[in-house]
Amino acid sequence: MFGVMALGALVLSPPVFAAGSGAAKMEPANNVLGNVRSLQRGARNFVNYCMGCHSAKYVRYNRLADDLQLSEQQVTDNLMFVGEKLLDTMDIAMDPLDAGRWFGQVPPDLSLIARAKGTDYVFNYLKGFYLDPDRRNGTDNLFLPGASMPHVLWELQGLQKPVYEAIIDANGDVHKIMAGFEQVTEGLLNTEEYDQFVRDLTNFLEYISEPVKLERQKLGVRVLLFLLVFFLFSYLLKQEYWKDIK
Ligand code: HEC
């Protein structure tokens, strides 16, 4: 009972800040690639909240339909912009030069981001925006200091501000380090719902970074099942061959 409660506290606690070093620890993303419903939600979140700025130009819509077990009609209605075709890739219309001017950085294509930086990073990055009045867009990110991406999910997560703690080092100098976040405005989602929203997005980004992984996992299970059945038959066969030779 207490074990369960302790675990609950662990899961629900705000980001853990490594004492002293100033570097924040990452929570595990815990996304499950084989969870097709989560991938479907992640795709929807990606189209609605990210494709204003980011493309995923190695992903074709018809492939999404197959892998995410959606009908072509569902993909057309929910995941595609007007005028796009199923054979198109998830590209966007933004001119990189404009994007550079607006944000200071061109929003990168996200096809491979989960493989490049890891799912835990993506998950924590999307939870790590906090208010910083010194920044042009009003926020910074704990995991990408100086990030030029605005906190596009602020309505869902709400806004959080850092809480600082003073520490004294060996020389007696006082340093201000970030000790955690404090919620300033409530979001439309509570903490668990927001985590799930971001986990689904992370799951989708992992899937698009290596679509064959999904197939490989399914194939792996089939191969194991085959081996199991094969073993059974070879065992029975062996019994049959040896039954007279005792
Ligand atoms: C308003 C434009 C905009 C929107 C919308 C947007 N981003 Fe970004 N994003 C950026 C910019 C600009 C950068 C480059 C940040 C930098 O390098 O400072 C970026 C960078 C990133 C990165 C890379 C971070 C890194 O470590 O290099 C990830 C991951 C990312 N965005 C995920 C998302 C996701 C997921 C969504 C949807 C929920 C999203 N973004 C929506 C503008 C946007």
pLDDT band at 246 (very low <50, low <70, confident <90, very high): low
Mean pLDDT on 113-127: 97
Closest-lying ligand 1 atom to the alpha carbon of residue 102: 12
| pLDDT one-digit tens code per residue, 129-183 | 999 999 988 999 999 999 999 999 999 999 999 999 998 988 989 888 888 899 9
Residue 224 has what pLDDT?
Answer: 93
Q: Is 201 in the pocket of ligand 1 (CB under 6 A)?
A: yes
* CA–centroid distance, residue 107 to ligand 1 (Å): 6
Q: Is 148 in the pocket of ligand 1 (CB under 6 A)?
A: yes
Mean pLDDT on 83-103: 85
Q: Is 149 in the pocket of ligand 1 (CB under 6 A)?
A: yes
Is the pLDDT assigned to residue 117 strictly greater than 70? yes
* CA–centroid distance, residue 98 to ligand 1 (Å): 15
Is the pLDDT assigned to residue 195 strictly greater than 70? yes
Mean pLDDT of the chain: 88
Exposure of 1 by Cβ count < 10 A (0-12 exposed, 13-18 middle, 19+ buried)?
Answer: exposed
Is the pLDDT assigned to residue 39 strictly greater than 90? yes
Please choose from 148, 149, 198, 202 the residue to mutate so as to test ligand 1's pocket, defined by most ligand atoms within 8 A of CB. 149
Q: Quote the CA–CA distance of 81 and 101 in Å, as a whole number.
A: 25
**Spatial CB neighbours of 81, under 8 Å, sequence gap ≥ 6:** 51
Closest-lying ligand 1 atom to the alpha carbon of residue 99: 12
pLDDT band at 60 (very low <50, low <70, confident <90, very high): very high
